[in-house]
């Protein structure tokens, strides 16, 4: 849906790496992204 209509159909904020600030390390960000993705799918 997202690519064809411009709307993913659900809230994707939890998978957005841009929500992390400068205080996070790449390892922390990677871990949290994987965690949130696995909870969503």
What global pTM score does this model have? 0.42
pLDDT at 33: 81
pLDDT at 26: 85
Per-residue pLDDT tens over the stretch 1-41: 788 998 988 888 777 777 777 888 889 888 888 887 787 77
pLDDT at 37: 78
**Could you tell me the two tokens for 27?**
């390892």
The number of distinct structural domains making up the chain is 1
Q: Which residue bears the tokens 């600030």?
A: 21
**Could you tell me the two tokens for 23?**
């205080």
The phi-psi region of residue 11 (left if phi > 0; otherwise alpha if psi is between -120 and 50; otherwise beta) is beta
Over its C-alpha atoms, the chain yields an Rg (Å, rounded) of 12
Q: Which range marks the domain in which residue 36 is found?
A: 2-40
CA pair distance 36, 13, nearest whole angstrom: 10
């Amino acid at each position: 849906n997202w690519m064809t209509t411009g709307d993913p159909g659900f809230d994707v904020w939890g998978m957005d790496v841009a929500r992390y600030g400068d205080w996070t390390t790449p390892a922390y960000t990677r871990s949290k992204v994987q965690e949130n993705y696995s909870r969503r799918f």
